[in-house]
Chains A and B, each alone.
Chain A
Amino acid sequence: MKSAMSKRKLKDTCGASAECISQVQKILRERFCHRPSATGKLFGIEFQYRHLLELLKRTTLHGESNSALIVGPRGSGKTTLLNHVLKDLREMKQVRGNLLEVHLNGLLQTSDKVALKEITRQLQLENVVGDKVFGSFAETLAFLLEALRKGDRTSSCPVLFVLDEFDLFVHHKNQTLLYNLFDISQSAQTPVTIIGLTCRQDILELLEKRVKSRFSHRQIYLMNSFDFKQYVKIFKEQLSLPAEFPDEPFAQKWNDNIQHLSEDKIVQDVLQNLFHHTKDLRSLYFLLMLAVSAVTVHHPLLTAADLQEASRQHGTDSKANIVHGLSVLEICLIIAMKHLNDVYDGEPFNFQMVYNEFQKFIQRKAHSMYNFEKPVVMKAFEHLLQLELVKPLERPSARAQREYLLMRLLLDNTQIMDALQVYPNCPTDVKQWAASSLSWL
């Protein structure tokens, strides 16, 4: 009896049960993946939150029409902000049943016709017509405008239009949808509020002058305006386990560890590096996701090394990775191209030039290299083409001979040199040749 107790205790101290770990994984992954759900916290955008909440509250309570744009770079929390506001709004008693929501996305509603159909569907106006699907675009527009015109400020239910990827709606023909939505928001019809989400800072310049005049020019900017200290705090909060975690001692231990990590020098360096690259919280979550994946039953707590490894993976260069898997011949071709680039200052080249350069190397310098025949070299070259390490200037046509198609190398010198450093079993003469095109002279 006692031994069993002590055994369990031992187990608790040394680590955690498998369920416990999977629980941790589940909680954290959900947190990192489903960010737009309103469960996450808002960081540094309390002012914008209040502004938006007040705006929507006025729409629902007073029936005041409004329009606003939420502008911010990708991953700055535009959708999160909106979802937060909407969630809080729905919880208010006076609001319930007083707000119709229409969510449109510029990537889904690629034309006004599709958008209008979607609006009628979401407003459940198609019920009026029975099962009939609408006829023409013109009819749908007239129908919808008629519906919205009938309402008035005090009696109609306010409608909230959320236009995600707002900038894509701008490219619709004549901006008909935007004009009409903004026009309704500026006339005594059904109260509507139009919220556009976009990452383009120049969005106002895209609006047609009539549309622009009807837009109220309210812009809510999200800028990721936090500093590194706050960034670390976010890191800490995002990794911490909640208080209601079933296995309390483990949660305690885990949280202590996170606290410890956030003060660790290595971890701070990793975070600093990422912070310098981007303030986008999404990439932080991506990094943490990689790190959390390393947590297992035998390795129950996150370490600095995990984060470092994750950071390394996160930051690796994709093209350089491809170079690692090339054959020596292909590497040689790339080096030849690099020399051509150096000599001709980035002018495009063709296969024949590369082959000649390669021949020069073989004849004068290479001792370890076997002199491959031209078709073999061609094959290697085509492989590079398929890997998109080289790219033809124009589409290959039937007339042009493949040898003479103009190409460009899609690798930078630094990438090539870096890749060669880690390339396993690279012949030394090749390495030397890579370092200097003139070394064989």
Chain B
Amino acid sequence: MSQNSFSLGIMNTRQQSKLIYSWYGKPMSSDRKLRTSQYKGIVITSESSRTETCIQLGDFILVEGVNADRPYVAQLLDLYEDGAQHKRAVVQWFCHIGEIPQNKRKLLKREISPQEVFFDQVLGYDTDIDAQTIIKSIMVIPLHPEEELPITLNKEQTFYVKQSWDGKCFKALSPDTFSKLKAKKKKGSTPDSSEPFIPSDILTPLKKETESVVRSATKPKNAESKHSVSKSSLAKERQSQRAANDIKTPTARKKLELSSPTRSKGRLLGSEVLDLLDDDRDAIAPLESAATKRKVTFTSDILGSPPKIPCSSDKSKSVSDTAEPCQRFSDTIRLSPYPKAKDFSEKAKNLHMEDDIIFLVGHQKPGTQSPVLTPRSRRTCAQRTSALIAQHISVLNQEDDLSSSDSSYSSSSEEEEEEEDVPCTPEKKTKSSRIFSTPKSSSKSSVHTPAKTPKKTPLPGTPKTPRNATPEIPRRSHAAQKPASVLEEARLRLHVSAVPESLPCREEEFQDIYNFVESKLIDGTGGCMYISGVPGTGKTATVHEVIRCLQQAAENDELPPFQLVEINGMKLTDPHQAYVQILELLTGQKVTATHAAVLLAKLFNTPGPKRKTTVLIVDELDLLWTRKQNVMYNLFDWPTQKHSKLIILAIANTMDLPERIMMNRVASRLGLTRMAFQPYTYKQLQHIISSRLKDVKAFEEDAIQLVSRKQYIPRAGGMTARVVIMHSDKMSGFSSVWHNVAALSGDARRCLDICRRATEICEFAEPKRSPEIVGMAHVTEAIDEMFSSPYINAIRNASLHEQIFLKAILAEFRRAGVEEATVQQVYHQHMALCRIEGMQRPTVSEMMAICSRLGASRLLLLEASNKYLHMRVRLNLSQDDVMYALREE
């Protein structure tokens, strides 16, 4: 066996052993211009265990992923070496349920086993990966949607695929894809466990192939057809077609990627996508069929295969047994694709009127040929059916009752199932018979990843906060009342929680943040932005609005998709919990803080082939401060990494936070992209309130007319509700109210609360009278209520001796010239005052009681009371205030 091995050892952290990747066989074809050469297999040699694993084109593989515990599943489509002698691989991805956005998962309407994967048709993922990220080969078995997952022993090695996922919805696998995957499965089914292994059934054909490759090295085009002598004419035709394609695929793809930046944005035209994928498909298809053919012919060889095979002979026998019917099945489909598809579509059409459920199946068989996947030869058929599919899907989405089945259809579906079941059942039996009763039911329900490290396996057993338990506040027994009056409606709109359609007065800030994130998204780079501003100036609201718009754009395929992670320093119990939360939101793992930090660092520092850009919002940044500042350091260090694809929006209150509390190295990583939210001016506050009230439907006619002069609160049924907001020139007194609020805080929350309170006061004051007018008086009252100092009132309502005590304090302060006195000193003053007023003097105990009461209200500041008479007393408000409060009476 001739192997030209370019050994390049890398440290695989998972296995802690050196792995050497080398090509299997001679290059199949090469492109001089781009200096690429293609190979049909790669050999992974582990230095420590001295074992070799050969992975061939079409095999299913695990690829190192974001998460060390959760490698990606993919199918190897192409292997080549680029100009810089890097080993590259082109793959078809499969995705775990964990990679699908939470909100889309419910489209499935069923429990997903961790072993199930989805045929990934999401655009935008890079399918060209570094060959050295390949971990090992595994099995992926296609199943029909109705089928249960077979019970298998080897959970880490076997995955099942039922449906495809294109970023928007799930579809059943097209028969074409299905059969191809099925054909592959056989090849991939033999590897068992992580033992050293060279696939036995591949061994023999490989020899032949390599021979043929050697022979035809000079004329690569012929080489392809050489080993497929027994192929049908159709396959031959495709083969040659593919040979041509094969050579150009990697380069063509590369060119495409380079030349069309639109692709990364997902703006490919449908036809382009189709062509592109067609190329892919055509490239795969003949090879697959060739492989399956070969396998069938060499089954006898397997039985008598050399003792290199680690697995027992009966196992391989069972495998070969399964292979045959499977092959037969795929053949039948392959041979008569036209009539079948037509048949189904017709059937579906007929049944359309009778029962909707049929569409599920009818749609799964012929309908799964999503336009993207359809091979060229079938396109006409696909086009015909695609319209039907669209119909079906729309019906399907509304259809909930999937359990009942139609008799007229069931016969055909049963036939289908029988056919499908044949290849699967023997395998299931042979495997399960060797195992003692497999606790499938429990493992199925538990939420745990197949490739989990044993350390974490007890997790589902002790669910601290189980992921499947959804904590929820109980529903209310009566429906919430609708706002009945104008004021109630207004109050609803004025509530801070009410989400306005737009954020007035923050357009510039919005645009700046939007542009920043958008540009980074398009570039696929990372970056930080620091946003500051006093509370209640709309920082978080604006950022959320930006994200909402970006998400919308991403959904419309105007922007590359991104992942949103949001943490809030105030909602963390400890700064280090930030790691835990970020990791959980990113990957759904629950680990300790230190472990999470390691995983995140690995995630952001290593190039991930299949990772979207992450947008991280860090609210209340200042609370992530630690003495060593390592949390902040890490957060801001990640975006600077080359492959991180991380955009951070950090929000905090203070403008000079980076200078004030951050070390230089942290502040420098934060960068200089800063934005300060200024407190709202009174005009802006005015605008916010009016924009919130303006668009109540009942008021529109009047409001439009009146907004220009006086901004009126919406009205209903002819009741005029004159509102609080007036033009400053018309009512200067009123606008001073807003001046006040703005001067007090510039806090929009406060402003809204005042208005809300004003409507209450109005309602409270005149419950029956209409029109209900929220006037100046009400607003002023609300402001008084909220902002007046309570001390004055508290002093005026204090008892006589308490007031005298305060006077005594003032007298003592004046006497001593120090703003602090002991109780004893004050007591003497108090006695003197009592003597003047002719009052009964209090005892010391009573004095102490008075003192502690005033202290509890914090009119006084007191020392610990065990000092008794020597306890020191201070006023908690200015002497003038006390005097003012006492004089008035």
Measured CB to CB, the residues of A under 8 A from B are 50-51, 54, 61-65, 71, 73-74, 94, 96-98, 100, 112-113, 123, 125, 128-129, 132, 134-139, 141-148, 150-151, 153-159, 174, 176, 179-180, 183, 185-190, 199-202, 209-210, 212-214, 216-219, 221, 223-225, 273, 275-280, 315-320, 346, 391, 408, 410-412, 414-415
C-beta contact mask, B832-867 vs A, less than 8 Å → 1, else 0? 000000011011111001100100111100000001
**Interface: B337 (CB within 8 A):** no
Please determine whether B799 and A213 come into contact, CB atoms closer than 8 angstroms. Answer: no
- CB within 8 Å for A62 and B764 given contacts A98-B476, A132-B462, A141-B573: no
Chain A residues with CB under 8 Å of B498's CB are 188
Please determine whether A201 and B857 come into contact, CB atoms closer than 8 angstroms. Answer: yes
Cβ contacts A to B, 19 pairs, < 8 Å: A62-B488, A94-B481, A100-B473, A139-B465, A155-B475, A174-B623, A186-B496, A216-B753, A217-B786, A223-B794, A277-B799, A278-B801, A279-B798, A315-B842, A315-B845, A315-B846, A317-B843, A317-B846, A415-B844
Quick one: which of B465-481 are within 8 Å of A by CB? Answer: 465-466, 469-481
Min CB gap A213→B, angstroms:
3
Other than A129-B463, A132-B463, A221-B793, give 17 A-B pairs with Cβ distance below 8 A: A62-B481, A65-B495, A138-B574, A141-B571, A141-B572, A142-B465, A143-B465, A153-B480, A156-B476, A157-B476, A179-B570, A212-B535, A213-B747, A216-B756, A277-B800, A279-B797, A279-B798
- CB within 8 Å for A221 and B843 given contacts A74-B856, A138-B574, A157-B475: no
Chain B residues with CB under 8 Å of A209's CB are 534-535, 653
Please determine whether A98 and B840 come into contact, CB atoms closer than 8 angstroms. Answer: no
**Interface: B620 (CB within 8 A):** yes
Min CB gap A61→B, angstroms:
5
Most A CB within 10 A of own CB, among B465, B534, B749, B794: B465
Please determine whether A319 and B845 come into contact, CB atoms closer than 8 angstroms. Answer: yes
**Interface: B193 (CB within 8 A):** no
Min CB gap A74→B, angstroms:
6
Question: Of B463, B790, B849, which one neighbours A201 at CB under 8 angstroms?
Answer: B790
Please determine whether B492 and A202 come into contact, CB atoms closer than 8 angstroms. Answer: no
Question: Of B469, B764, B787, B791, which one neighbours A129 at CB under 8 angstroms?
Answer: B469
CA distance A142 to B581 in the complex (A): 9
CA distance A317 to B848 in the complex (A): 10
Question: Of B488, B749, B802, B845, which one neighbours A278 at CB under 8 angstroms?
Answer: B802
Please determine whether A176 and B573 come into contact, CB atoms closer than 8 angstroms. Answer: yes
CA distance A74 to B799 in the complex (A): 13
Instruction: Give the size range of B's interface with the partner.
Output: 35 or more
Min CB gap B67→A, angstroms:
20
**Interface: B733 (CB within 8 A):** no
Quick one: which of B419-464 are within 8 Å of A by CB? Answer: 462-464
**Interface: B868 (CB within 8 A):** yes
Please determine whether B473 and A223 come into contact, CB atoms closer than 8 angstroms. Answer: no
Most A CB within 10 A of own CB, among B480, B492, B764, B793: B480
Please determine whether A414 and B799 come into contact, CB atoms closer than 8 angstroms. Answer: no
Min CB gap A192→B, angstroms:
9
Across the two chains, which residue of chain B brings its CB closest to A179? B570
Quick one: which of B481-524 are within 8 Å of A by CB? Answer: 481, 483, 488, 491-492, 495-499
- CB within 8 Å for A319 and B844 given contacts A98-B478, A225-B797, A410-B869: yes
Chain A residues with CB under 8 Å of B536's CB are 213
**Interface: B750 (CB within 8 A):** yes
**Interface: B127 (CB within 8 A):** no
Measured CB to CB, the residues of B under 8 A from A are 462-466, 469-481, 483, 488, 491-492, 495-499, 534-536, 570-574, 577, 580-581, 620, 623, 653, 745, 747, 749-750, 753, 756-757, 760, 764, 785-787, 790-791, 793-794, 797-802, 824, 827, 831, 839-840, 842-846, 849-850, 853, 856-859, 867-870, 876
CA distance A73 to B495 in the complex (A): 31
Please determine whether B571 and A180 come into contact, CB atoms closer than 8 angstroms. Answer: yes
Most B CB within 10 A of own CB, among A50, A51, A138: A138
Min CB gap B859→A, angstroms:
7
Chain B residues with CB under 8 Å of A190's CB are 473
CA distance A200 to B791 in the complex (A): 10
Please determine whether A125 and B497 come into contact, CB atoms closer than 8 angstroms. Answer: no
Please determine whether A320 and B794 come into contact, CB atoms closer than 8 angstroms. Answer: no
Please determine whether A210 and B475 come into contact, CB atoms closer than 8 angstroms. Answer: no
CA distance A65 to B839 in the complex (A): 50
Chain A residues with CB under 8 Å of B868's CB are 391, 410
Chain B residues with CB under 8 Å of A210's CB are 535, 570, 620, 653
Please determine whether B843 and A315 come into contact, CB atoms closer than 8 angstroms. Answer: yes
Please determine whether A201 and B472 come into contact, CB atoms closer than 8 angstroms. Answer: no
Chain A residues with CB under 8 Å of B840's CB are 273
CA distance A24 to B336 in the complex (A): 101
Please determine whether B499 and A188 come into contact, CB atoms closer than 8 angstroms. Answer: yes
Across the two chains, which residue of chain A brings its CB closest to B474? A157
CA distance A158 to B477 in the complex (A): 11
Please determine whether A62 and B480 come into contact, CB atoms closer than 8 angstroms. Answer: yes
Most B CB within 10 A of own CB, among A199, A320, A410: A410
- CB within 8 Å for A202 and B858 given contacts A51-B764, A213-B535: yes
Chain B residues with CB under 8 Å of A346's CB are 824
Chain B residues with CB under 8 Å of A97's CB are 476-478
Question: Of B476, B495, B790, which one neighbours A219 at CB under 8 angstroms?
Answer: B790
Across the two chains, which residue of chain A brings its CB closest to B466? A129
Min CB gap B773→A, angstroms:
19
Please determine whether B480 and A154 come into contact, CB atoms closer than 8 angstroms. Answer: yes
Question: Of B473, B495, B571, B802, which one neighbours A157 at CB under 8 angstroms?
Answer: B473
Question: Of A159, A174, A187, which one neighbours B473 at CB under 8 angstroms?
Answer: A159
Chain B residues with CB under 8 Å of A318's CB are 845
Across the two chains, which residue of chain A brings its CB closest to B787? A217
Please determine whether A150 and B470 come into contact, CB atoms closer than 8 angstroms. Answer: yes
Min CB gap A134→B, angstroms:
7
Chain A residues with CB under 8 Å of B798's CB are 279
Please determine whether A408 and B469 come into contact, CB atoms closer than 8 angstroms. Answer: no
Please determine whether B465 and A147 come into contact, CB atoms closer than 8 angstroms. Answer: no
Please determine whether B853 and A280 come into contact, CB atoms closer than 8 angstroms. Answer: yes
- CB within 8 Å for A100 and B481 given contacts A129-B465, A134-B464, A137-B573: no
Please determine whether A64 and B571 come into contact, CB atoms closer than 8 angstroms. Answer: no
Please determine whether B790 and A221 come into contact, CB atoms closer than 8 angstroms. Answer: yes
Chain A residues with CB under 8 Å of B749's CB are 186, 213-214
Min CB gap A388→B, angstroms:
8
CA distance A128 to B798 in the complex (A): 50
Chain A residues with CB under 8 Å of B491's CB are 64
Question: Of A73, A148, A150, A180, which one neighbours B857 at CB under 8 angstroms?
Answer: A73
Please determine whether B845 and A73 come into contact, CB atoms closer than 8 angstroms. Answer: no
Chain B residues with CB under 8 Å of A216's CB are 753, 756-757
Chain A residues with CB under 8 Å of B786's CB are 217-219
Chain A residues with CB under 8 Å of B473's CB are 100, 123, 147-148, 150-151, 156-157, 159, 190
- CB within 8 Å for A224 and B797 given contacts A138-B577, A212-B535, A213-B535: yes
CA distance A50 to B824 in the complex (A): 43
Please determine whether B462 and A200 come into contact, CB atoms closer than 8 angstroms. Answer: no
Please determine whether A186 and B497 come into contact, CB atoms closer than 8 angstroms. Answer: yes
Across the two chains, which residue of chain A brings its CB closest to B620? A210
Most B CB within 10 A of own CB, among A71, A183, A276: A276
Please determine whether A200 and B483 come into contact, CB atoms closer than 8 angstroms. Answer: no
Min CB gap B425→A, angstroms:
38
Chain B residues with CB under 8 Å of A408's CB are 870
Min CB gap A180→B, angstroms:
6
- CB within 8 Å for A202 and B570 given contacts A219-B785, A223-B797, A276-B801: no
CA distance A120 to B329 in the complex (A): 57
Chain B residues with CB under 8 Å of A63's CB are 476, 480
Question: Of A98, A135, A144, which one neighbours B477 at CB under 8 angstroms?
Answer: A98
Please determine whether A187 and B475 come into contact, CB atoms closer than 8 angstroms. Answer: no
Chain A residues with CB under 8 Å of B499's CB are 188
CA distance A154 to B476 in the complex (A): 8
Please determine whether A218 and B801 come into contact, CB atoms closer than 8 angstroms. Answer: no
Chain A residues with CB under 8 Å of B844's CB are 317, 319-320, 412, 414-415
Min CB gap B820→A, angstroms:
15
